[in-house]
Amino acid sequence: MGTVFTLAQGTFGEAIRRKILNIFLVVALALIGLFFAFSSFSMREQMTITLSTGLGVITLAGVFIAVILGINLVPAEIEKRTIYTILSKPVRRHEFLLGKFLGGLLTVFVNIALMGIVFILGVWLKTHSMDSQVWQGVIMIFFQMMLLCSVALLFSVFVSPFVNFFLTFAVFLLGSMSSITESLAHQDGHKSQIACDFFWFVHFVIPNFGNFNITNPIIHPDVQVQNMGLYMGQTIIYGVIYSIIMLLIAILIFDRREV
C-alpha cells in the first residue's frame, strides 16, 4: 500500500500545480462570489437561487476538473515517459493505476473542498444560519466527481485523451439524465422493443450521476427526501461500488496493455 500512497502523493503534487485546474477553481470562486450579489429578490428566493446556482457552479467546475484530470492521469505519464521509470521498479500495474487514481481524487477533493468552504462561509455570512443541505450538497458533489474520475480513468487506459474527453462528458450527461433514460426504457406501445432494450441497457450500464444532485430538492422544496442520511449513504455506497468496478475493469485492461 506504501507504493500506492507514494504514487498518489506524486500525482497530487503534479496535478495540483496544473494551471488549467487553477483556472477552473478561480472561475468557480469568482462565480460563487457573484451569486451573493443578488438582492432584488425576496430573502427566500435569494436563498433558493444562491444555493442551487452555487452548487451548480461547484458541480460544473468539479466536472471539468475531474474530466481533465481523469483523462490525463495515465496518458500523460506515457507521453512524458515517467511511466517507464516507475513500472521498471518494483511497482505492479494495479498499484500504479490505484496511485494515479487516488492522487487524482485527492486533487478533486481539495478543489471541491476549497470551493465548498468558500460557498458554505458565504451562505453563513449572508444568512447567519447553516442549511444542512449546503454541506450535504458539497459532499455529494465530491462523490459524484469520484465516480466521474473513475469513468475517465477507465477510458484513459484504452482511448486517447481527446476521445476520452467527449466520451466521459457524454457518459456524465447521460448519467445525469437517468430518470429520462429510465422512462424511455418503458414500453409505451409507440417504441420498438429494440429501442426499449437499448434504453434499459443505457440506464443500467451508465452510472446514475443524477442521484448525487441534491440541488433539485432545494429548487423544489416540496420534494422532500424522507431520510437524507440514508439517501446519502446509499448513493455514496453506490458511487464507491461503481467506482471500484470501473477501477477493476481499468486494471484488467491496463495489465495487458503495452506502454
Partner 1 sequence: MAQDELSPSTGAQSGAAKSSDGYSGAISSSVSSGSAPMSGEIAIEIKNLVKRYRNLITREWVNAVNDISLDVHKGEIFGFLGPNGAGKTTTIKALLGLIFPDSGDVKVLGEAPNNNAIKAKISYLPESPYFYEHMTAREIINFYASLFGLDSRERAKRADYLIDLVGLASAGNKPLRAFSKGMLQRVGIAQSLINDPEVLFFDEPTSGLDPIAHRDIRDLILHLRTEGRTLFLSSHQLSDVELVCDRVSILYRGKIRKIGRVDELVVGGNVEILVKGFKTTPALAAEITGLGAKLEQSGPDTLIIGGSDNETKNALIDLVRRGEAQIIAVTPTRRTLEDIFIETIREGEVEAGEATKFAEASTTEALEVK
**Residues contacting 59, CB < 8 A, separation 6+:** 141, 144, 213, 215
**Closest distance between partner 1 and the C-beta of residue 16, in Å?**
8
Nearer to partner 1, 13 or 33 (CB): 13
210 contacts partner 1 (rule: CB under 8 A): no
Name residue, grid cell 490505484: 98
Question: Rounded to the nearest 10 degrees, how much is the dihedral formed by the CA atoms of 99, 100, 102, 107?
Answer: 140
Which residues ranging from 15 to 34 are in contact with partner 1 (CB under 8 A)? 17
Residue type, 166: F
DSSP 66: H
14 contacts partner 1 (rule: CB under 8 A): yes
**Residues contacting 159, CB < 8 A, separation 6+:** 167
**CA 133, chain centre distance (Å):** 18
Q: State the binding string over 87-126 for partner 1 (x if CB under 8 A, else -).
A: xxxxxx----------------------------------
**Closest distance between partner 1 and the C-beta of residue 184, in Å?**
37
Q: Which of 20, 26, 81, 244 binds partner 1 (CB under 8 A)?
A: 81
Q: Which of 33, 43, 45, 85 binds partner 1 (CB under 8 A)?
A: 85
Nearer to partner 1, 11 or 235 (CB): 11
Beta-carbon neighbour count of residue 183 at 10 Å? 12
For residues 222 and 170, give the distance between their C-alpha atoms in angstroms, rounded to a whole number: 31
Q: What angle do CA 200, 203, 206 make, to 5 degrees?
A: 135
How far lies 13's CA from each of 24, 98, 230, in Å?
18, 16, 35
Count of residues that interact with partner 1, criterion CB under 8 A? 24
Nearer to partner 1, 8 or 246 (CB): 8
Q: Which three cell numbers stand for residue 52?
A: 442551487
**Closest distance between partner 1 and the C-beta of residue 15, in Å?**
10
2 contacts partner 1 (rule: CB under 8 A): yes
Q: Which three cell numbers stand for residue 189?
A: 406501445
Q: Which of 27, 60, 120, 259 binds partner 1 (CB under 8 A)?
A: 259
Interacting residues toward partner 1 by CB under 8 A: 2-3, 6-7, 9-10, 13-14, 17, 80-82, 84-92, 256, 258-259
